[in-house]
Amino acid sequence: MEIIKDLQILTNYSNFSTFYHLLDKFKFLLGVCIWASLGVLVGGLLLTLFRDNSLTC
For the stretch 18-54, pLDDT in tens is 778 888 899 999 999 999 999 999 999 999 988 876 5
Determine if the pTM surpasses 0.85: no
Number of domains comprising the chain? 1
Cα separation, 43 vs 49, whole angstroms: 10
Residue 51: give the domain boundaries: 2-55
d(Cα 33, Cα 40) in Å, to the nearest integer?
Answer: 11
- Read off the amino acid at residue 45: L
37, HSE (Cβ side, Cα atoms, 13 Å): 5
CA distance 29 to 41: 18
